[in-house]
């Protein structure tokens, strides 16, 4: 039997990569109150169910400012990076959005780091073993409010 060392090496590397992609699980998601979820690795709480679709930042901002959920009224739009971290809960964690009744697909309203200048868009999956996402701007979106 002739064993090609190059093929063995390639197959070994592919097996390690596949195992690594399947085993990266670092986040948990729990429902802390009706309609409020929390990521174990973060101090943030999230609105479980996304809002209706809004076509302007003013509509999205008004929605967040009027939101009273889980006994809290200090909800805000997440930053683009916070929204990316939320996606990572499903990309790398144990959370399954369908099992939890959470819709994550679509575009969402976000704010800049100082809490202003809202804009809409989504982190779209770039399908590869190493999950990567690219932010795509949009003209409308949902709100998934965050606090604090």
**Considering just the CA atoms, what is the radius of gyration of the chain in Å?**
19
Does position 4 have pLDDT exceeding 70, yes or no? no
CA-CA distance, 17 to 52, in Å (whole number)?
39
Confidence class of residue 24 from pLDDT cuts 50, 70 and 90?
Answer: very low
Q: What is the pTM of this model?
A: 0.69
Fold annotation for 27-147 = Mannose-Binding Protein A; Chain A (3.10.100)
CA-CA distance, 10 to 108, in Å (whole number)?
41
Question: What does the pLDDT read at residue 16?
Answer: 36
Separation of CA 15 from chain center: 28
Question: What does the pLDDT read at residue 94?
Answer: 64
Q: What is the pLDDT of residues 34-91, one digit of tens each?
A: 899 988 888 999 999 999 999 998 999 999 999 999 999 999 999 988 988 887 777 6
Question: What does the pLDDT read at residue 41?
Answer: 80
How many CB atoms sit inside 10 A of residue 36's CB?
19
Does position 14 have pLDDT exceeding 50, yes or no? no
Burial class (CB in 10 A: 0-12, 13-18, 19+), 124: middle
CA-CA distance, 138 to 56, in Å (whole number)?
11
Q: What is the pLDDT of residues 76-133, one digit of tens each?
A: 999 988 988 887 777 666 666 777 778 888 888 888 776 666 777 776 666 656 556 6
Domain ranges of the chain: 27-147
CA-CA distance, 12 to 97, in Å (whole number)?
32
């Amino acid at each position: 039997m002739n064993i090609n060392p190059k093929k063995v090496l390639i197959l070994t590397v592919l097996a390690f990569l596949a195992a690594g992609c399947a085993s990266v699980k670092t986040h948990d998601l729990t429902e802390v109150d009706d309609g409020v979820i929390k990521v174990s690795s973060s101090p943030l709480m999230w609105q479980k169910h996304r809002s209706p679709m809004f076509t302007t930042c003013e509509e999205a901002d008004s929605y967040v400012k009027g939101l009273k959920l889980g006994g809290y009224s200090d909800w805000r739009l997440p930053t683009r990076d916070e929204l990316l971290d939320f996606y990572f809960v499903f990309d790398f964690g144990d959370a399954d959005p369908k099992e939890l009744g959470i819709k994550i697909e679509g575009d969402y309203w976000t704010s800049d780091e100082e809490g202003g200048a809202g804009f809409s868009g989504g982190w779209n999956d770039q399908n590869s073993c190493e999950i990567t996402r690219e932010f795509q701007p949009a003209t409308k979106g949902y709100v998934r409010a965050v606090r604090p």
